[in-house]
Amino acid sequence: MQLKKIITTSLLISLMTISLTACSTNKTKEDATSSSELILATTTSTQDSGLLDELLPQFTEETNIQVKTIAVGTGKAIQMGENGEADVLLVHDTKSEEKFVADGFAKERHDVMYNDFIIVGPKNDPLKLKEIEGENKTQQALNKIYDEQRMFISRADDSGTDKKEKKIWKEVDLTPKGDWYVEAGAGMGDILKMASEKQGYTLTDRATFLAMRDKLDLDIVVEKDTDLKNQYGVMCVNPDKFDNINDKEAKEFEEWILEDETQKNIENFKKEEYGQSLFTPNAK
């Protein structure tokens, strides 16, 4: 009886040891494979063009950092940074970005890539905007749209594209209003779909339009004009401002997107499919 009790006790001790060892091993394995994360506030154009779907899985595979993407207008993305609601920003309004740095919300910004703005509209081009020549074609086009009160779909969301559009209206000293001027308050993809359905005009970045072109009844009517470069920049939110910023992960993302290999991937993104780069990398 005593021998049986000793054997039973020894067996229980052995089972407990095995169980604890297994737990320890599993915990070590979990620690080795556990991932950190960051919040990326960016523009709808990087999302709608498909660029982030191409890049972010590569970043996660290389760094084991999960990225939560919030695609909004540049103004909203910058506001998120000012509120400490994002770790890193990828946006496209250089003036606003420089102010973000000057106000201490980021320590620096870096150029990442650029494309350009274009005006798209009905394929039959009722206003003959394709025939406009000379400098400031975009200004001439908006003047014509205004005079004829042809439907124009505005993002009206404080995005980089919206800021550019408003800047051009200001340059031609016009204030668009009326039923023909639709302030949608939506992202670029939704705006293009709306312009296609209503056969109106809109200002868009080239990348989003090219990525969606086959699904739209629209054509480029004004392009390659002066002062339509669309520059994108990356900024890490200043951790000195907020306690909750994932600074290490944000810096890893910033360094990664500026690396030569990532820059090459940006340049080659859908290049073969469209015969041109949707984004031109220009990190220094």
121 and 78 in a single domain? The answer is no
Q: Are 189 and 202 contacting, i.e. CB atoms less than 8 angstroms apart? A: no
Residue 67's DSSP bridge partners are 38
15 within a domain of the structure (yes/no) = no
Distance of CA 83 to the CA centre of its chain: 19
- Among left, alpha and beta (phi > 0; psi -120 to 50; other), residue 251 is alpha
160 within a domain of the structure (yes/no) = yes
pLDDT at 284: 84
**Spatial CA neighbour of 122 closest among 159, 148, 94:** 148
CB contact set of 4 (below 8 Å; sequence gap of 6+): none
pLDDT at 227: 82
d(CA 182, CA 116): 23
CB contact set of 117 (below 8 Å; sequence gap of 6+): 138, 161, 164, 203, 204, 205, 206, 228, 230
128 and 108 in a single domain? The answer is no
CB contact set of 192 (below 8 Å; sequence gap of 6+): 120, 202, 204, 208, 209, 212, 216, 218
**Spatial CA neighbour of 214 closest among 188, 226, 190, 196:** 196
d(CA 220, CA 208): 12
d(CA 239, CA 245): 5
Give the structural domain span for 178: 116-222
- The strand ranges marked E within 43-180 are 65-71, 88-91, 110-121, 152-154
- The CATH number assigned to the domain holding 157 equals 3.40.190.10
62 within a domain of the structure (yes/no) = yes
208 and 248 in a single domain? The answer is no
190 and 109 in a single domain? The answer is no
25 within a domain of the structure (yes/no) = no
Final residue before a domain boundary, out of 176, 199, 222: 222
90 and 182 in a single domain? The answer is no
240 and 100 in a single domain? The answer is yes
Final residue before a domain boundary, out of 171, 195, 222: 222
- pLDDT tens string, the chain, 284 residues long: the values are 443 444 344 444 443 444 434 443 343 333 334 569 999 999 999 999 999 999 999 999 999 999 999 999 999 999 999 999 999 999 999 999 999 999 999 999 999 999 999 999 999 999 999 999 988 999 999 999 999 999 999 999 999 999 999 999 999 999 999 999 999 999 999 999 999 999 999 999 999 999 999 999 999 999 999 889 999 999 999 999 999 999 999 999 999 999 999 999 999 999 999 898 999 999 98
128 and 205 in a single domain? The answer is yes
Confidence (pTM): 0.80
**Spatial CA neighbour of 138 closest among 230, 202, 232, 74:** 202
21 within a domain of the structure (yes/no) = no
Final residue before a domain boundary, out of 222, 243, 258: 222
- Total domains in the chain come to 2
92 and 136 in a single domain? The answer is no
- Helix 160-171 to helix 74-82 angle, to the nearest 10 degrees? 120
| Angle of CA points 249, 245, 85, to nearest 5° | 115
